[in-house]
Amino acid sequence: MTKTKVAVLISGAGTNMAALLYAAKLPDCPYKIVLVASNNPEAEGLNIAAAEGVPTYGKSHVGLNRVDHDLIIHDQITQAGATYVALAGYMRILSRDFVEKWDGRMLNIHPSLLPKYKGLNTHQSAINAKECVAGCSVHLVTAELDDGPVLGQIEVTVLPGDTAESLAARVKMAEHQLYPKILAEYVVRETNPEYLILQVRKLALAQPEAHEVLSHGMPCFGIIGGKKFAYVSVDHHGDGKTALLVKISGAEEQGMLIDSDGERYYRPAYFGDGWVGIRLDLGDTDWNHVGDWIAKSWRAVAPKKLAKLMDVAADF
As annotated, the active-site residues are 110
Residue 16 found at the interface with ligand GAR (CB under 6 A): yes
Residue 146 found at the interface with ligand GAR (CB under 6 A): yes
Site for ligand GAR in 94-133 (CB under 6 A): 109-111
Q: By C-beta, is 14 or 148 nearer to ligand GAR?
A: 14
Q: How far is the CB of 176 from ligand GAR (least distance, A)?
A: 8
Residue 88 found at the interface with ligand GAR (CB under 6 A): yes
Residue 14 found at the interface with ligand GAR (CB under 6 A): yes
Calpha distance 238→104 (Å, rounded): 30
Q: By C-beta, is 174 or 258 nearer to ligand GAR?
A: 174
With contacts defined by CB under 6 A, name the span among 14-22, 99-107, 241-249, 277-285 that binds ligand GAR: 14-22
Q: How far is the CB of 28 from ligand GAR (least distance, A)?
A: 24
CA 198 from centre of chain? 15
With contacts defined by CB under 6 A, name the span among 10-18, 59-67, 155-163, 204-212 that binds ligand GAR: 10-18
Q: By C-beta, is 30 or 89 nearer to ligand GAR?
A: 89
Order of all β-strands in the sheet with 133-140 = 56-58, 31-38, 4-10, 84-87, 106-110, 133-140, 150-157
Residue 219 found at the interface with ligand GAR (CB under 6 A): no
Binding site for ligand GAR (CB under 6 A): 10, 12-16, 45, 88-89, 109-111, 146, 172, 175
